[in-house]
Structure 1
């Protein structure tokens, strides 16, 4: 997978828009959803939204070690993220919000965190399976951000093989996104059903043939990712 810097930046802006509504990314964005283990409420945080019971502890630990404005205060929370419910801890939420919006160190840490934790593994999967197009990179990265990877339960819903196994890249991506859209649209959790705007936006780019991601506009949930 080779991406130009422009394509890499566009992919980042698309994911930022999907997650926080802003192409530039809202590094202090906090949402609370009942989508944690056993449907418990949890914090989602940052420009690409990592979760309290997912990788938020890793992000807080990275920031605590980076010497930012709020590192000392957040360091005390780091051991408890994901093991002790902090959803209603307003002091913790305030520190996260302030760090994301006021401290350039947190913004730099988030950029590195989301690359190391989600983007790099997504591109390794793309390489291993023979994908080369920028829109494919976006689809795969979005699946890693939103679902933790390429879901096997969805791969069993269509027959096309990945390019590394002789399949056609555009067909595989189209069929995967459509299978994912159907899964999101009919999910048991209402909060997951609401996220089908992700796949709606991706299907629009596939239908437009925007495989290099250079064709404007690219809209996600009503927002043009080239604006701002």
Structure 2
């Protein structure tokens, strides 16, 4: 499977942080936690306080980053209590990403291990081989933590591993995800249809190998 990893990551970084390079120091508070609770979202491709943020910081501490000692007391609290109001913690995260190259290196390794590699493994398991499939699945991995079964149940197309056609399956999945986002009760998720609209556009112009450049992402040309 010939997947242009760096190009795909730049596209997802643009969706996640508004920058193709990724905003390593971006920290926002959003009400997208369990039962609509607020949580910290942080990093190059944005990981969450109630998700994998603790693993990212454990990797940073193990790498002996410049802010490891300061961040260490917060590790056991992540996922156990809300740190939304802990301004000192927020400031440490932002400063670490801005000032310490180790944090940026760790983030690259973290997003590979927790999002990129699982996405590629999913593609291989289900027989998806196109670069566009890699983009769609990686986006789902970052944005939804995987390729949700409840969405796959909404259409009858089968993946190649089950004897189906890849392009037809991918179009059906993107359409199902588009409808889910478009009519979601949360305004923030409804705004994410820019992702599925982008994927639909690339399918329409036959850009299955992602060799037609640039790809327009929210008005920005990604080369």
Normalised by the shorter chain, which TM-score bucket? over 0.9
- Alignment match of 1:208 (pick from 205, 210, 214): 205
Query: Residues 179-198 of structure 1 correspond to what in structure 2 (within 5 A)?
Result: 179-198=176-195
Higher relative contact order, structure no. (Cα contacts within 8 Å, ≥ 6 residues apart): 1
**1:2 CA displacement:** 3.5
Residue 175 of structure 1 is matched in structure 2 by 172
SS of match in other structure, 1:76? helix
Does residue 1:116 correspond to 2:113, yes or no? Answer: yes
Does residue 1:26 correspond to 2:23, yes or no? Answer: yes
Residue 62 of structure 2 is matched in structure 1 by 65
- Alignment match of 2:215 (pick from 215, 218, 226): 218
Unaligned runs of 5+ in 2: none
Query: Residues 24-173 of structure 1 correspond to what in structure 2 (within 5 A)?
Result: 24-173=21-170
Ranges of 4+ aligned residues in structure 1 off by more than 6 Å: none
**1:144 CA displacement:** 0.8
Cα deviations by residue, 1:64-112 (Å, 9 ceiling, x for unpaired): 1111111111111111111111112111111111111221101110111
Unaligned runs of 5+ in 1: none
